[in-house]
Structure 1
Amino acid sequence: MTPRSRVLVLSPAFHGYWRSLERALAGRGHEVRTVRYDERGPAGRLGAKALHELPERLGASDARRRAALGRRARNAVTAHDPDVLVVVKGDAFDDDFWDLLAARRQRRVLWLYDELRRTGHTALSLALAGPVASYSPLDVEALRARGLRAEHVPLAHDPHEPVTPYPPRDEVVFVGARYPGREALLRSLADAGLPVRAHGRDWSEHPVDRARTWRLGTPGLPAGRDLARPDAYGVMAAATATLNIHGDQDGFTMRTFEACGVGAVQLVDRADVARHYEPGTEVAVFSGADEARDLARRAHTDRPWADALRRAGRARTLAEHTFDVRARSLEALWTA
């Protein structure tokens, strides 16, 4: 184990994943503090709608927000004076933040859970961020080609996060954002007579969610509201199967590891999941709507097969794909 260090984590508040990283690093013997640099109370969230989201939709610059978040991050670094700084995403900081890190020259690592093309990172921020841990193998190759140190560190499941127990439900569920391809697949399953349900603000018919997502209509599919992580885990575990539908990512989402980690039957749309799981043994892979329908029906009718997937996927996750495992990879980056 590496020597004990005072670690400051600068992380988005996004779904509480900062807690998982904090727990894992503390479990490695470090003294860990976390600052959720974008966290807001109810009044702050309402203000963000008016001050940031609406202007962004109208094409306005978000320089004010970047300056505010950069200032908050700089203050955290100078106040805590850590031995090691772990920045999660961090693309919303202004250049002054990265200049501060260059002046301090402390050990640090940047962990990215999205492709670079979908972030606000610049050549300057990537050069000054220190080693980069990315969930995207393609981004790792590109960063290395630019002479930067980068390693592929996949996302993970946190077995210490509680799971809300739900009774078994005969339905195929999807938990996540609503995109056209995802909606088309769910509609295809529903049209074939399979019970489906989507969870998330983009799917929900609740008037508050419709206002939050700037829309009038609904997709017309059975849907629920946003779920906290314990509820999302419970819903996936209780369902006949859970869908993992990617877009144009080359990395694998957090859901890939969470679904297996809680013992769900995961139907995933990418054969290259074989990098992390054994298709047909630990997860079920589909390449189109027809295969997804066949696998969903099999999960309902062939319970021994479904139960075997649940057990094998969970065992693989707990052995290889936890935040505790990923914490070791981050340590290796900041200590080398």
Structure 2
Amino acid sequence: MRVLLTETVDPDGAMYRWLSPALQAAGHRVVVVPGQEAAHHLGVSGFQALLVAAADALDPDLILTHPPYDHMSAATADRLRARGARLVGFAFDDPIFTPEWRARGPLEAVLAGIDACYDAWLTTSQRFAELAAATAPGSRVLPIRWAMCPPSPAAPRCGDIPARVVLVGSAYPTRVALIRTLAAAGLPLLVRGHGWPEAAPRLALPAGADVDLGGHVDAATATALLRAGVVVSTADWEDRPVPMLKLRVLEAAFAGACQVAAACPELGAHFTPDEVAPYADATDLVAVLRGLLADAPRRAAMAAAAHDRARREHTWETRLAELIAALAAVGRPVRAIATDRAEPLACPALALTAMSLATSAEFNGRAAAAAAFFAHAERAGAGV
């Protein structure tokens, strides 16, 4: 197939290349449009125009975006689908936005807008899929599990997991409160992410607390930290808890981590409690962590089991087949293409956008991002 998708290009950005390498390895021709990076750079209308330009250049069979971050309009969707492409929204933050959508008016209107734009809206939220089915039977909102590309090279087999607690993520108020509770319980903590050094005064740490706070780390360091102790994966968004499964749980599993994750409806569909231990609240988390910190063999066994489950079930090799089947199930099958075009892509809009993002990253001293965007510009501009 020819696949057009939105994805993070910056190596230190969230969800960097979490999808495209697997599709390329499977033999599909893939063109990546920088997602939120280009949307922030160009604005909504400019980003919509970029999607259309890339689709015109590739003539894709499948277009995969990530609503609502794709800012999709019905007019743009019509342009994208005009030549037979199937447009799929892979939505992973529906629990965050559902209250806002419902506050605007009837959910029926939201679902009608979804069906007007997308051939299928695949959501990682079981609750939103159930809500859509109950509100508008026949809606093309369908549940799907998370997936990602396994890291290359693969994580080594899990050995000793240090007896400390690790949290990697921004200093949301909910996380600050959680770290305060864990520190008060006397647990050894290693915390990294945006805002933690600034949050230190608000933690009111007890004397002698074993807490190592640090700021933002790059992607390679973050991955290494996931094997530096028992990882806590929270379910929150800025200042409020949101019961949902985040990609970080899969990232930790693929990295070979022993982890504890906030309980949510989707966790059990991805991992058993012997693979990723759930916790209900801060008090429960303290008890779960104390048990794990005292049991080195269990830490190693959980890490190995979660790693094996992730590589067995949660790759895009498996999930793409489910995505294609979901489209067929709602009467929107992907067209069958016997051969693929081999000529270079020539999309000046995409090449110039990537070049502009590269220049901006270089100016701001972000060398890895600049290199990634320059390479992206070269690929997008081949033949221009």
Alignment check: 8 A CA contact 1:135 1:155 kept: yes
Instruction: State whether residues 109 and 130 of structure 1, in contact with CA within 8 Å, keep that contact through their aligned partners in structure 2.
Output: yes
**Separation in structure 1 between the aligned mates of residue 22 and residue 201 of structure 2, nearest angstrom:** 42
Listed as ranges, the gaps of 5+ residues in structure 2 are 102-109, 205-210, 334-384
Partner residue of 2:269 out of 252, 269, 275: 275
User: 1:36 pairs with 34, 37, 49, which one?
Assistant: 34
Contact 1:265 1:299 in 2 (8 A): no
Q: Deviation of residue 33 (structure 1)?
A: 1.3
Cα deviation digits, residues 110-167 of structure 1 (max 9, x gap): 11111165289854354222111110112222333423223211223432345799x9
Q: Which residue of 1 aligns with 2:226?
A: 236
The answer on 1:136 being equivalent to 2:114 is: no
> Aligned to 1:11, which of 7, 11, 16?
7
Match of 1:225 in 2: 215
> Partners of 1:158 and 1:184 in 2: how far apart?
33
Selected match of 1:106 from 63, 85, 98:
85
1:216–1:250 distance in 2 versus 1, CA, 3 Å: closer
Pair 1:86 & 2:64 matched: yes
Residue 118 in structure 1 maps to residue 97 in structure 2? yes
- Quote the residue 2:297 is aligned against: 304
Contact 2:171-2:195 within 8 A present in 1 as well: yes
Structure 2 partner of 1:158 = 149
Aligned-residue sequence identity (percent) comes to 27
Shift of 1:266: 0.8
| Structure 1: tracts of 5 or more residues without a match | 49-63, 206-214
SS at match of 2:18: helix
CA contact (8 A) 2:253 2:307 kept: yes
State whether residues 243 and 264 of structure 2, in contact with CA within 8 Å, keep that contact through their aligned partners in structure 1.
no
1:107 counterpart letter in structure 2:
R
Deviations 1:242-277 (A, max 9, x none): 101113444411112222222211112216422222
Radius of gyration: which is bigger? 2
Contact 2:74 2:116 in 1 (8 A): no
TM-score (norm 1): 0.77
TM-score normalised over the length of structure 2 = 0.68
CA distance in 1: counterparts of 2:122 and 2:280, whole angstroms: 29
- How many equivalent residue pairs? 301
Change (3 A) 1:315 1:294: same
Q: CA deviation at 1:78?
A: 1.4
Aligned partners of 1:305 and 1:260: how far apart in 2? Answer: 15
